[in-house]
Amino acid sequence: MGMPGGFLKYERRCAKYRPVKERLTDYREVEVYPPEDEVVNQSLRCLDCGIPFCHSTGCSLSILIPEINELVHGGRWREAYERLSSVNPFPEITGRICPALCEASCTLSINDAPVTIRNIEYTVIEKAFENGWVQPRKIKRRAGKKAAVIGSGPAGLAAASKLSGRGFDVTVYEKAPAAGGILRYGIPDFKLEKWVIDRRLDIMKKEGVKFETGIRIGKDVSASYMQKNYDNIIITTGALHPRDIRIPGREYDGIYFAMEYLSSSNEYVCGSSENLEIDASGKNVLVIGGGDTGSDCVGTANRQGAKKVYQYEIMPKPLKWDSSWNPSWPYYPSVLRETSSHREGVEREWNVLTKEFIESRGRVSGARFCRIKWEKKGEGRPEMKEVSGSGFALDVDLVLIAAGFEHTEHEVFLKELGVDYDDKGNIKTRDYSTGVRGVYAAGDCRTGASLVVKAIKQGLKAASKVGVILLYFWFFHQAY
């Protein structure tokens, strides 16, 4: 342990944000990360716990957090990078967009501010890139087995990286024009600039991973072709079937799903589309849904020059919590969160039910709402009750539905492969196997929409299941 009582000497200092007026003029990352010496001081706050809950309870990837902190404050940056990358294939991504469940589980969070684990992770990996330590792995031996990964989001990239490292010849199929999945098309550049993804993809390509983009399995390539030409298939297509709001007026122009809007903006920002298909400029924008996707819509609309942005949520307002410690330690707390996008300008409301959309010449021009309250009777789920006389209306020109996702998209190739779905509509698996020989599933298409870090973990786990089978046959072949 570098400094017993370091948390008493150094207060928590994390990344700051560029000024609102400045960042609203571009799509560059909003966070300004602390300098190296400050990161070293922050690592000294680590308690080096006997039971590191950050590692065991908080982090889905079980990153060796106390060890990395020890190496950082000892100036052993390369070793810190090696520890980090031994379990996390994409720390430059999680270091930017992970909600840091590890920090919620930090033992300091019992009654103090946690260690800035995410900022430390970011600094370690960017220092590694800066010093040329991140290099393509040299795969010494290929096993003569071919694997296809369908989908290039975080789970797909993690699976491809793991399989390639284990000697597979890996091809990643992506229906979009470029690889990255939700990382590229769903997350705005002000949270994750796309050069970060491209830098990692370039390394994976040099390691031998092939990427086939603009290919829709079941249309451009049949499922039977995939089964004939690949020994194993891992499905990582996400869970992007959106939850709709079926109310009068839903068919009017100017009402879009959040992911349609975000994808349109991302394509325009990166230059792959010359025209901004869905533009919030000069409009009153209504975002329905209070989660992270809705927050991303808020930030994007403000950058496009929206006149006014509203974000309405049907659920109750979470507990407002201003203290630095975690009331739900060691678990992630359910408290009110204000993102950088919220600080850029938005009117937020909770317990609001959208009742009807209003039109003018076939295009949405407003909406009607009412207030609600949630009542719990017995041990059942709370029931929604409208508050009498609480109705109100709002003039809006653009509506973005960010009400979450129901399940994975039931594409044709899934039926052709013969996979089953669970009761929620996601791909049914047992130990990542779909029950169809050689076909596995990982990430959101298996569990429903969740965090990027959890998708990465599942991609690695699924690849490990495939890899175990491969190693068995390889050793059997060598022995006989």
- Is the model's pLDDT at 138 over the cut of 80? yes
Q: How many CB atoms lie within 10 A of CB 275?
A: 8
Can you give the CATH number for the domain in which 123 is found? 1.10.1060.10
- Is the model's pLDDT at 472 over the cut of 70? no
- Are residue 208 and residue 325 in the same domain, yes or no? no
- Are residue 270 and residue 125 in the same domain, yes or no? no
Long-range contacts of range 13-21, CB-CB < 8 Å, 24 or more positions apart? 13/38, 13/41, 13/42, 13/116, 14/42, 14/116, 14/118, 14/119, 15/116, 15/119, 15/122, 17/340, 17/343, 20/343, 20/344, 20/345
Query: Of the candidates 372, 403, 434, which is a domain's last residue?
Result: 403
- Are residue 353 and residue 278 in the same domain, yes or no? yes
- Are residue 54 and residue 113 in the same domain, yes or no? yes
Query: Of the candidates 374, 403, 432, which is a domain's last residue?
Result: 403
Residue 1 domain flag: no
- Is the model's pLDDT at 468 over the cut of 80? no
**Span 86-104, mean pLDDT?**
97
Given this model, what pLDDT does residue 467 score? Answer: 66
Distance from C-alpha of 77 to C-alpha of 63, rounded to nearest angstrom: 16
Residue 137 domain flag: no
- Are residue 11 and residue 125 in the same domain, yes or no? yes
At 378, is the pLDDT very low, low, confident or very high (cuts 50, 70, 90)? confident
Mean pLDDT for the chain overall: 95
Q: Look at residues 232, 228, 260 and name the one whose alpha carbon lies nearest to residue 145.
A: 232
CB 252 within 8 A of CB 359: yes
Given this model, what pLDDT does residue 379 score? Answer: 82
Q: Quote the crossing angle between the two packed helices 154-165 and 452-479, to the nearest 10°.
A: 20
- Is the model's pLDDT at 476 over the cut of 80? no
Residue 441 domain flag: yes
Given this model, what pLDDT does residue 223 score? Answer: 96
Query: Of the candidates 351, 380, 403, which is a domain's last residue?
Result: 403
- pLDDT tens digits for range 30-66: 999 999 999 999 999 999 899 999 999 999 999 999 9
- Are residue 29 and residue 154 in the same domain, yes or no? no
Can you give the CATH number for the domain in which 424 is found? 3.50.50.60
At 377, is the pLDDT very low, low, confident or very high (cuts 50, 70, 90)? confident
- Are residue 235 and residue 258 in the same domain, yes or no? no
Given this model, what pLDDT does residue 477 score? Answer: 42
- pLDDT tens digits for range 60-85: 999 999 999 999 999 999 999 999 99
CA dihedral sign of residues 440, 442, 448, 449: negative
The count of domains in the chain is 3
CA dihedral sign of residues 128, 129, 133, 135: positive
Strands across the sheet containing 255-257: 255-257, 398-401, 284-288, 308-312, 347-349
At 3, is the pLDDT very low, low, confident or very high (cuts 50, 70, 90)? confident
Q: Look at residues 196, 203, 163, 164 and name the one whose alpha carbon lies nearest to residue 180.
A: 196
Q: How far is CA 360 from the centre of its chain?
A: 37
CB 170 within 8 A of CB 208: yes
**Span 121-136, mean pLDDT?**
98
- Are residue 316 and residue 234 in the same domain, yes or no? no
Residue 140 domain flag: no
Q: Quote the crossing angle between the two packed helices 65-73 and 117-130, to the nearest 10°.
A: 60
Residue 454 domain flag: yes
Residue 56 domain flag: yes
- Are residue 251 and residue 392 in the same domain, yes or no? yes
Residue 141 domain flag: no
Range of the domain at 29: 6-130
- pLDDT tens digits for range 298-338: 999 999 999 999 999 999 999 999 999 999 999 999 999 99
At 469, is the pLDDT very low, low, confident or very high (cuts 50, 70, 90)? low
At 2, is the pLDDT very low, low, confident or very high (cuts 50, 70, 90)? low
**Span 215-235, mean pLDDT?**
97
- pLDDT tens digits for range 248-263: 999 999 999 999 999 9
At 112, is the pLDDT very low, low, confident or very high (cuts 50, 70, 90)? very high
- Are residue 221 and residue 297 in the same domain, yes or no? no
- What count of residues does the chain have? 480
Given this model, what pLDDT does residue 479 score? Answer: 41
CB 462 within 8 A of CB 474: no
Strand partners, 171: 148, 210
pLDDT > 90: percent of the chain = 92
- Are residue 364 and residue 272 in the same domain, yes or no? yes
Residue 372 domain flag: yes
